[in-house]
Structure 1
């Protein structure tokens, strides 16, 4: 792969070269007065790549892109690199120092969340999260007051009932994955090391009221791939069985039940919950890949991801799969108040469909979104909202209209590239008028590169 054609270094994936602060952006429409906080999204944005041919999107330095909303105004937009030691040196700044795990020095590039009063940039694979202040400047690496035993994870779940943080961490150096629970005091209170063979990539997990779901699938660490080709040392192992682990929340490693599933890979579950009418069944909706990284480390091989419903039957010891949609979708989200609970609605990014295939030119997982899909999982229906074919649509984050609002009563926020302006808009949709005109479009002064995950961080809970 020559640097000039590396898909991660061109088009909507191309990194931006400077940090920008802009105030009082122009807005089309009206920003709801109830929105008082920051929409922040993380993503790779490398500052200087020694070998563009070897660069992999997953390995880029993390950059946060945030918009501050208050009083019906878009007060500011900021983009800021996370200041790992290496990034601070490249920028000619003082190193912040702080704790490390296995000497890993990495600017987290995957997610951002708020927990125990702190805004945290997240990444998987063994590195620590970093704390950010309210203007997206880096405070430093965060180890939960010295209680974090290793790295954290790219995906965490805040239990809406207890406000505790749950995650499953993995690391290439560990012969196990680690279920972690952090209390509201910001300290790790529970750790379960679950032995697994082959050092699998476990990007995400699922949490229900009583169980933790572990996706032990055939994408594994390959030390022979380090330094060879794109800088991503995980590959598909066709000989490795695929299985789903079911761990009771208060159980130990010996209590995990491993259930066989067909070979596949899952980056992102939408949500999981216990069946109210049948305590022995768990339902999870997720985006499933048939296989991944089998022919190379730049994308999928075979079918694109589709939304499926898995029903876990603990009595029978099996998992039943049902395809919910045949369109390629990723980055599924729900109302955060419904996490671990039965939910009716879900939202996902549409990568392409038959009408749009000609507009999606990048191979594999480098596809950019062309629209958003809203699912009504009770009725078995969906709505599609398209955007410009040349644009890129990011993950849609649901923001409730208030603490007591109905499940679908609120807004969806996503970064959408506007090809007419050559820059990005923060698009705010009314969830109950999904295909109608956006409530507001905040016109950012720059392009936001294609990235990963974000969250709405309100000023007041």
Structure 2
């Protein structure tokens, strides 16, 4: 029996037939596909292939029916697949099958490669690449003209126009060339060819900047990697060439827009990029190809998420809750609702509030997800959509979002409102005590940027101070004040020399204190599976002191040695000095472990934490740094009734160095700043806590009249507890241990809201 396959290949946009393409037909088999035949398309794009049973039936012909047919369309030199139906098999094909093949014009912009490996199409890509920053430098133009002459393309009409430098290559045009060149499944050879060509362009005067050069130079380290890893790494690093801060600019502009409007308002640098390229960027972003995957840390043990949202009354208690302790303890933290896209960082998970309400010596528990726009959309799709910090963002911006605000870092209580916060996102309003999400909060439309995760409330005036940082364009820092009744009354820009991450700040009675640390925003690091923030060991750190209601003209900056300050305990004024109490680090890896070849942990940044005091003399300008304690600790806190005022006691969580690289804390420390002494409350063997919060005794006179509250996980019994510690009997047994009805994963910041 003979079989016939007919068809026509044509350009999708015009309907014109495409001649001289190779069409191959195959029978899909389990072990090896049988080639049934091939043909060249004629002047109208038509083709015909004939074959018989012998072409697809072998030794087991009695068990085999007609072929499971698919076709492949290739360029005349067979170097590139333009079209394939392998994913749409025609099972048990009939004697006569017909295919109509429409190929988009952009796919037909195939490579015209000469023997040297650089042809017209590749030269066009180099020209477009030179224009990517909007300027064709003289050195670049001279190089490209010389290359065109060398390859016999100097008189090509299209190349002559492109090299006239009178008409810039538009972004969308460049990406269409790139998409056509790479196709759907580029191999190592294509990427290496592209890299070699781009490197020629880079190492001339006026080429790429240093970070982009470094990304391309990193190609040399990939040769020993497995092929599948090497290709993904090549793709990620190549795409990183075209990244800049613009995607974050889009993110900032759309942060406050509702989901229904956001998709139509994502604009700017990537607006004209073809969907195929954007989708390819996103697919690359989802591949854990380079970095050592920290997933095993942050999705296992007590870092692992829980699934249930529950409400339980009358919890079991070991000991006795103080009758005067009345209110709600809240702790925010990451809890991804679905398996992550690509690499997972601890900062990525969807925010979940865990709350324990204490009234009349009894306790109840409830936990609720913070239902941000991104959370709801992923819930609807029943899968994660957006990758996290260790991945490239979604350049195709599904639902108008390139990144998701997980609202997972902390919470704040002010003017009768409960807000959940993330460093570079909008705050979300929650109900109390129900912990249901009420939506984004923008202070009556006055907040047009993000809100930091650690706002400060003045206990005397009731004002709340916060800031927002921009990783894109000046102003890199904006400072805001909210009145005691919840009205946003002031937002002023503050000049910074470059965009930096600013995890915390401080206030005194009359001043606001900013921390300009060398934590630089570097979005291209995500292309290498690294967090997009870099600690610059060569840059000085600065402390900025601003009169509370001042502006950029009234801020004073004071230089301190290179370090990172993540969390502040307090600040206050003393004569002509401003005193700042905080934990400092020698450097920062952002909870991403580094390993040597033997799998041993290197550079565990938490072991460099020290409790420190800075004395800034506003008269002389002198700054003095003093180490209070060399024992590594974090999450410092005080009795918040003394925020911005002189403090005697500071409480902090001690780092469990033996657990590295896991960021675990095995005790609380109480520092007496007057005597220089300290006390330790041990959680016990195999028991780990986190951030603690001071709940003051109503009517108490002493600064330490009250209790420390923190969640503790017992890794032996696999049980979570809320531990209540008498601050005046700090080393003694806990006053009470409230048994949680389910596991409470490790998280970030907590607060106490009195009844």
* Residue 118 (structure 1) aligned with residue 417 (structure 2): yes
TM score, norm. by length of structure 2: 0.56
TM score, norm. by length of structure 1: 0.90
Q: Distance in 2 between matches of 1:296 and 1:10?
A: 15
Residue aligning to 1:244: 543
Secondary structure at 2:450 match in 1: coil
| Cα shift at 1:391 | 2.1
* Residue 67 (structure 1) aligned with residue 343 (structure 2): no
Residue aligning to 1:407: 703
Residue aligning to 1:132: 430
Structure 1 residues 295 and 204, CA gap change in structure 2 (3 angstroms): closer
1 or 2, which has the higher strand percentage?
Answer: 1
* Residue 325 (structure 1) aligned with residue 629 (structure 2): yes
* Residue 79 (structure 1) aligned with residue 367 (structure 2): yes
Secondary structure at 1:337 match in 2: helix
| Cα shift at 1:283 | 0.8
Bigger-Rg structure (1/2): 2
| Cα shift at 1:323 | 0.5
Residue aligning to 1:196: 496
Structure 1 residues 92 and 51, CA gap change in structure 2 (3 angstroms): closer
Tell me, which stretches of 5 or more residues in structure 2 are unaligned?
1-290, 382-398, 595-602
Q: What does the per-residue CA deviation read over 1:213-268, in whole Å, with 9 as the maximum and x for residues that have no partner?
A: 111011110021234315x3111123433111111112210211111110000011
Secondary structure at 1:91 match in 2: helix
Residue aligning to 1:306: 610
| Cα shift at 1:33 | 1.6
* Residue 258 (structure 1) aligned with residue 548 (structure 2): no
Mapped contact 1:237–1:294 kept (Cα < 8 A)? no
Which residue, out of 367, 378, 387, partners 1:90? 378
Q: Distance in 2 between matches of 1:32 and 1:24?
A: 15
Residue aligning to 2:331: 41
How many pairs were matched up?
439
Secondary structure at 1:58 match in 2: coil
* Residue 290 (structure 1) aligned with residue 586 (structure 2): yes
Structure 1 residues 369 and 245, CA gap change in structure 2 (3 angstroms): same
Structure with the greater relative contact order (CA < 8 A, sep ≥ 6): 1 or 2? 1
Q: Over aligned residue pairs, what C-alpha RMSD do you find? A: 2.3
Q: Distance in 2 between matches of 1:12 and 1:349?
A: 17
Residue aligning to 1:340: 644
| Cα shift at 1:105 | 4.4
Q: Distance in 2 between matches of 1:103 and 1:295?
A: 23
* Residue 167 (structure 1) aligned with residue 466 (structure 2): yes
Q: Distance in 2 between matches of 1:101 and 1:252?
A: 34
1 or 2, which has the higher helix percentage?
Answer: 2
Residue aligning to 1:186: 486
| Cα shift at 1:104 | 6.3
Q: Distance in 1 between matches of 2:673 and 2:591?
A: 34
| Cα shift at 1:50 | 3.3
| Cα shift at 1:294 | 9.2
| Cα shift at 1:198 | 2.1
Residue aligning to 1:97: none
Q: Distance in 1 between matches of 2:591 and 2:693?
A: 33
Q: Distance in 2 between matches of 1:11 and 1:445?
A: 17
Q: What does the per-residue CA deviation read over 1:17-63, in whole Å, with 9 as the maximum and x for residues that have no partner?
A: 222222211001111122222100001111223345x1111122111
Secondary structure at 1:254 match in 2: helix
Residue aligning to 2:723: 427
Mapped contact 2:355–2:367 kept (Cα < 8 A)? yes
| Cα shift at 1:147 | 1.4
Q: Distance in 2 between matches of 1:121 and 1:315?
A: 39
Residue aligning to 1:96: none
Q: What does the per-residue CA deviation read over 1:84-109, in whole Å, with 9 as the maximum and x for residues that have no partner?
A: 1221233349xxxxxx9998641311
Secondary structure at 2:347 match in 1: helix
Q: Distance in 2 between matches of 1:270 and 1:410?
A: 17
| Cα shift at 1:418 | 2.1
